[in-house]
Chains A and B, each alone.
Chain A
Amino acid sequence: MMGKVFTLLERHWYSALFLVLLGGAVAMLFSRAEKQPESHSLQRGLLELSGPFQKGMTKGVGFFEGLWQRYVYLVELEDENRLLLELIEEMKRERIQLLEFQGENDRLRSLLGFKQDFQKPLLPAEIIAKDLSGWFQTAVIDRGTRDGIEEGMAVVSVQGIVGQVMESSRGFSRVLLITDPNNAVAGLIQRSRARGIVVGNGHQLCRLKYLHRSEDVKTGDLVLASGLDGVYPKGVLIGTILKAETKDPELFQRVAIKPSVDFRRLEEVVVLCEKRDLEETVRP
Chain B
Amino acid sequence: MSYVIVLLLGVVAALLQSTLLRALFPQSFVPDILLLLVLYGSLLFPFGKGLLLSFALGLLSDLFSGAPEGLNALFSITLFVMSKSIQARVFMKGFRAIWGLTILAFVLKVPYYALLSVLFGLHFPTAADGVLIWVGEFVSSLFLMPVLFYVVSKALGLQGGWFLEHQGSSPA
Return chain B residues, CB-CB under 8 Å to A60.
20
Kindly state the separation between the CA atoms of A258 and B73 in the bound complex, as whole angstroms: 33
Closest 6 CB pairs of A and B: A202-B125, A28-B70, A138-B66, A25-B74, A132-B65, A57-B19
B89: Cβ under 8 A from any A Cβ: no
Knowing A21-B55, A166-B66, A204-B27 touch, does A132 contact B18 (C-beta < 8 A)?
yes
B163: Cβ under 8 A from any A Cβ: no
Mostly, the B contact residues are helix
Contact of B51 (CB < 8 Å), options: A17, A131, A182: A17
Question: Which of B28-36, B93-101, B147-155 lies on the face that meets chain A?
Answer: B28-36
CB pair B18–A130 under 8 Å, yes or no, is yes
Kindly state the separation between the CA atoms of A202 and B74 in the bound complex, as whole angstroms: 22
The contact sample of 19 A-B pairs, CB cut-off 8 A, is A18-B77, A21-B73, A25-B73, A29-B68, A29-B71, A29-B116, A43-B69, A50-B18, A61-B20, A131-B66, A132-B61, A133-B32, A133-B137, A134-B137, A140-B18, A181-B123, A203-B27, A203-B28, A203-B129
Knowing A54-B15, A58-B19, A135-B65 touch, does A29 contact B129 (C-beta < 8 A)?
no
Return chain A residues, CB-CB under 8 Å to B116.
29
Kindly state the separation between the CA atoms of A270 and B50 in the bound complex, as whole angstroms: 43
| Cβ of A222 to closest chain B Cβ, rounded Å | 23
| Cβ of B136 to closest chain A Cβ, rounded Å | 6
A129: Cβ under 8 A from any B Cβ: yes
Return chain A residues, CB-CB under 8 Å to B74.
22, 25-26, 29
A32: Cβ under 8 A from any B Cβ: yes
Kindly state the separation between the CA atoms of A44 and B91 in the bound complex, as whole angstroms: 43
Q: How many residues of A contact B (CB 8 A)?
A: 53
A190: Cβ under 8 A from any B Cβ: no
Knowing A18-B77, A22-B74, A33-B121 touch, does A138 contact B65 (C-beta < 8 A)?
yes
CB pair A132–B27 under 8 Å, yes or no, is no
Kindly state the separation between the CA atoms of A31 and B68 in the bound complex, as whole angstroms: 9
| Cβ of B152 to closest chain A Cβ, rounded Å | 18
Contact of A30 (CB < 8 Å), options: B28, B63, B120: B120
- By beta carbon, the residue of chain B nearest A166 is B66
Knowing A24-B70, A181-B123, A202-B130 touch, does A264 contact B65 (C-beta < 8 A)?
no
Return chain A residues, CB-CB under 8 Å to B17.
132
Size bin of chain B's contact surface: 35 or more
Return chain B residues, CB-CB under 8 Å to A29.
68-71, 74, 116, 120
A89: Cβ under 8 A from any B Cβ: no
B90-113 contact mask (Cβ, 8 Å, vs A): 1 or 0: 000000000000000000000001
CB pair A25–B77 under 8 Å, yes or no, is yes
With A21-B73, A129-B22, A132-B14 known, 17 other A-B pairs at CB within 8 A are A13-B48, A18-B81, A21-B52, A25-B70, A25-B77, A27-B70, A29-B71, A29-B120, A42-B63, A43-B69, A50-B18, A131-B18, A131-B66, A135-B125, A180-B123, A203-B27, A203-B129
CB pair B14–A134 under 8 Å, yes or no, is no
| Cβ of B30 to closest chain A Cβ, rounded Å | 5
CB pair B66–A14 under 8 Å, yes or no, is no
Kindly state the separation between the CA atoms of A57 and B18 in the bound complex, as whole angstroms: 10
B34-75 contact mask (Cβ, 8 Å, vs A): 1 or 0: 100000000000011001100100110101111111110110
Knowing A65-B23, A132-B14, A134-B137 touch, does A18 contact B68 (C-beta < 8 A)?
no
